[in-house]
Amino acid sequence: MLVLGGALVGLNRRGLSKVVGTLGMLPPVKMRNFQKYENELVVATREAADKSMSTAANEVRSHFSSNDISVSLDGTWMTQGFSSLHGVGTLISVSNPSKVLD
């Protein structure tokens, strides 16, 4: 649970160690185990996201007679400009109700 909590607030093992140390608690698990839990968390969240987006796409598709669906796309990069190697995008259906598709 500590690994999940750290991921949700953007803390790595070192950051979590500082927080729990301040609270007088034992430090998180060893680095190797911490990384194992992080990897399991990545797999689980990716599977959940894929399932959720697939379900949303099927719901939107069921409202239309064709695959011609209006969507809105928005994205951002980690740094200013267009030179960043890291970015995210969101694809949302314009139908009512709107659904996150990707």
Q: Dump pLDDT digits (tens) for 21-71.
A: 888 888 777 888 888 888 998 899 899 999 998 998 888 888 877 777 888
* Rounded distance between C-alpha atoms, residue 101 and residue 60, angstroms: 9
* Rounded distance between C-alpha atoms, residue 8 and residue 59, angstroms: 28
Domain presence at residue 101: no
* Rounded distance between C-alpha atoms, residue 95 and residue 3, angstroms: 37
Based on the structure, what is the number of domains in the chain?
A: 1
Domain presence at residue 100: no
Domain presence at residue 17: yes
Q: Do residues 68 and 53 touch, judged by C-beta distance below 8 A?
A: no
pTM of the prediction? 0.65
Domain presence at residue 102: no
* Rounded distance between C-alpha atoms, residue 54 and residue 57, angstroms: 5
Domain presence at residue 84: yes
Res 77 pLDDT > 90: no
The helix (run of H) or strand (run of E) holding residue 76 is: strand 71-77
CB within 8 Å of 36: residues ≥ 6 apart: none
The parent domain of residue 13 ranges over 2-93
Residue 48: per-residue pLDDT: 93
Percent of the chain with pLDDT over 70: 99
**Tokens of residue 52, six digits:** 């959720």
